[in-house]
Amino acid sequence: MELAEVEAKKRGCLVAQLDTLSYQAPVFYQKLGFEIVGTVPAFPGSPERYFLLENYQ
């Protein structure tokens, strides 16, 4: 992750965006500096989905 972020900054990226499911890694990404900016609630057969951003500015 760190190498990807270094490369993104070198290329002039201003933000990083990702999404993950509740059972995957939302806490992991928050520890890296990403902020949850949206969610789609869980429903039968599908876990909650999180949308995260990290601002490089």
Other CB atoms within a 10 A radius of the CB of residue 56 amount to 12
Q: How confident is the model at residue 1 (pLDDT cuts 50, 70, 90)?
A: confident
Give the domain ranges of the chain. 15-55
Residue 53 CB-density burial (10 A; 0-12 exposed, 13-18 middle, 19+ buried): middle
- Annotate 7-39 with b (16+ C-beta within 10 A) or e (fewer): eeeeeeeeebeeebeeeebbeebeeeebeeeee
How do residues 10-49 score in pLDDT, each as one tens digit?
999 999 999 999 999 999 999 999 999 999 999 999 999 9
pTM of the model: 0.85
